């Protein structure tokens, strides 16, 4: 019985010596997680701003492609007719 009464105090003292170290480690991990979350928040905010800019650029590019298509389409139609008339003139 004396040996069994010595067992539990030894087990109870071991966790008490490990617990502050574990808590310190958890605190350090929590601080790192908090810093990483703050960085992530900043990156998401910047990504949102950049997504709006990319959306605007997409609109500009679409407009330029439509304008170029219209101009090149008109030149092709007009150029085909002019080439035939120019060939007859020479």
Question: What is the spatial distance between Cα 86 and Cα 79, in angstroms, rounded to a whole number?
Answer: 10
Residue 68 lies in a domain: yes
- Written as six digits, the tokens of 86 are 């120019």
Q: How many domains is the chain built from?
A: 1
Q: What is the pLDDT of residue 52?
A: 96
Residue 43 lies in a domain: yes
Residue 15 lies in a domain: no
Residue 52 lies in a domain: yes
Q: What is the pLDDT of residue 75?
A: 73
**pLDDT per residue as tens digits for the range 48-70:** 999 999 999 999 999 999 999 98
Residue 85 lies in a domain: no
Question: What is the spatial distance between Cα 40 and Cα 70, in angstroms, rounded to a whole number?
Answer: 44
**pLDDT per residue as tens digits for the range 29-42:** 999 999 999 999 99
User: Is pLDDT of 14 > 60?
Assistant: no
pTM score of the predicted model: 0.52
Range(s) of the domain holding residue 69: 27-78
Residue 73 lies in a domain: yes
Question: What is the spatial distance between Cα 61 and Cα 68, in angstroms, rounded to a whole number?
Answer: 10
């Amino acid at each position: 019985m004396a040996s069994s009464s010595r067992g539990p105090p030894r087990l109870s003292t071991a966790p008490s010596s490990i617990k502050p170290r574990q808590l310190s480690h958890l605190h350090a991990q929590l601080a790192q997680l908090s810093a990483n979350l703050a960085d992530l928040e900043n990156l998401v905010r910047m990504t949102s701003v950049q997504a709006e800019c990319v959306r605007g650029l997409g609109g500009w590019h679409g407009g330029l492609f439509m304008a170029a298509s219209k101009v090149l389409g008109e030149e092709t139609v007009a150029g085909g007719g002019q080439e035939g008339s120019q060939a007859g003139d020479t």
